[in-house]
Amino acid sequence: MSKKKHEAGSRLAKDYNNTLRALQIELVKLQNEIIRSDAKILILLEGRVTAGKDGLIKRIIQHLSPREIRVVALGKPSDRDRSEWYFQRFTPHLSAAQEMVLLNRSWYNRAGVERVMGFCSEDEYHEFLETVGSYEQLLVRSGIKLLKYYLDIDRQEQKKRLRDRRDDPLKQWKISPIDQSAQKHWDDYSEARNIMLSRTHHAMAPWTIVRAGDKRSARLNTIKNLLSHLEYKGKDESLVCPDPNVVFPFEQVCLTNGMIAP
């Protein structure tokens, strides 16, 4: 690597770290406000395999009090879970007063992995699409502030990240049989994603899209967007303005204008 490229890379890394630190200070301010006002915050993070949900969550919670923030990442449902009302499994994990909860994948698993891999029936799938809006409206009306993010990457970027995971002994735990089939079922996941976004985007709980091809940019701009949607004392308004080319509200036209990967 040339000296100029090395220096440019160092500057970019320094800028990223400085901006991230400033945003994490804003997150601390936000958490103080959540505690003070008994707020209930629920953040749903969805997206392709390797889209960067884990890395984003790590940066959000890094300097927050673990007593008032929880990360929920549920595993494979048990036979008992399968016999229950679908949303029953998630309801115990909802935010209480003074708390922020991040769902690393959520009930939308039914509209994604379960749909594509055949883990749910046709009736279960369509029942979910018909009822999820009502469920979310109940949550919002109960006082929960609900934010839904979909992290989007293209096929080549996913292929590269899957290869990196296989080659990195510290990341190999992230590879599951579902992950290994992600490229094979790319088009199926695209179709499921498009239906999910179109059918479950509503005024009380809209979807926000994150173009996550650049991990650092996606992290910074998602945190900015999150902060911009929540009120807290001492907010630095100049800092919490996300790039609209990276994070933006879902619209139907996004599926055909190139803003979301095909």
d(CA 219, CA 52): 8
| DSSP H or E segment with residue 238 | none
* One-letter amino acid of 73: A
**Percent of the chain residues past pLDDT 90, beyond the cut:** 89
Q: Which CATH superfamily is domain 13-255 in?
A: P-loop containing nucleotide triphosphate hydrolases (3.40.50.300)
pLDDT per position as a tens digit, 238-256: 999 999 999 999 999 999 9
Instruction: Determine the pLDDT at residue 179.
Output: 86
Whose CA is closest to 33, among 262, 201, 229, 173? Answer: 229
Whose CA is closest to 225, among 204, 249, 261? Answer: 249
Q: Is 184 helix (H, G, I), strand (E, B) or coil?
A: coil
Q: Which residues of the chain have pLDDT under 70?
A: 1, 5-7
d(CA 116, CA 113): 5
Instruction: Determine the pLDDT at residue 6.
Output: 66
d(CA 138, CA 136): 5
Instruction: Determine the pLDDT at residue 173.
Output: 83
